[in-house]
A and B are shown apart, each in its own frame.
Chain A
């Protein structure tokens, strides 16, 4: 379980140094709520459940504002609270996960391999990874974020869930495998597929084709 309240990322430019006034700032609150909702929706793919989780996170932030020590950006702190709520929600949902469907998803994606790689295991002609801008450049591009979010939505449901649990909720692979009662190898295959699909999706949507200096 990540310790969200001691978030190591403490960017400058914290908008709110006085945490006790944040809920009186309607503009800040609206934007915060919108961003939290977008994040929750990406994770849960369920608007009603996402709204519940955001509501609970905001209520918890309000009730616990004394514990916000100001060493991290306020928004980052609230996102940390939301992550805990999302982990709870996903854990409840997981009890209903269809494990045979998970297996089918992996089986069906053997096809992905034959599309991306040739018989000798090299990248197929059409799927060769093209150069992308460096992370610090790519992440300043609105085009990147638009395509990235669209591609996240495109991931098959179970694959997407494992990826979200690992990358966004920060769970260890071992914990994810245990909870889903699948083997470590199976888990790492799903994560590999998720990453392959994301990069392939971004490339197919045209990311990285034109200008790798980031002047898109």
Chain B
């Protein structure tokens, strides 16, 4: 059975390797019924895009002085 602990790990793993079909199924069936894990997934997406921008020198904080 999928639970949030397992699904949150798989969502992280999916950024580093392709998930196996069984793993995808766990994630796909869990997300529609769990707003916490949907929020987590969006948070991970924000972190991923933030690291990409930092990496390429595009981040806001790199261009503007923080006050």
Binding site for B on A (CB under 8 A): 7, 9, 11, 31, 35-36, 38-39, 42, 73, 75-76, 78-79, 83, 113, 116-117, 120-123, 128-135, 138-142, 144-146, 148-149, 166-170, 173, 188, 191-192, 195-196, 198-199, 202, 208
Query: Contact: A121 with B55, CB < 8 Å?
Result: no
Per CB-CB distance, the 5 closest pairs between chain A and chain B, nearest first, are A121-B3, A145-B61, A129-B39, A121-B5, A79-B57
Query: Contact: A83 with B55, CB < 8 Å?
Result: yes
Chain B contact residues: over half helix, strand or loop, or mixed? helix
Given contacts A142-B66, A148-B50, contact A199 B40 (CB under 8 A): yes
Binding site for A on B (CB under 8 A): 3-6, 8-9, 12-13, 15-17, 36-37, 39-40, 42-51, 53-64, 66-67
The contact of A117 among B5, B13, B47, B53, by CB within 8 Å, is B5
A residues in contact with B67, CB < 8 Å: 142
Given contacts A38-B62, A140-B60, contact A117 B44 (CB under 8 A): no
In the bound complex, how far is the Cα of B56 from the Cα of A78, in angstroms? 9
Minimum CB–CB distance for B14 against chain A, Å: 10
- Can you sample 27 A-B contacts with CB below 8 Å? A35-B62, A76-B58, A83-B55, A117-B3, A117-B4, A121-B4, A121-B5, A123-B4, A128-B36, A132-B42, A134-B46, A135-B46, A135-B50, A139-B49, A139-B53, A142-B67, A167-B48, A167-B55, A168-B55, A173-B16, A188-B12, A188-B13, A191-B16, A192-B9, A195-B12, A195-B44, A195-B47
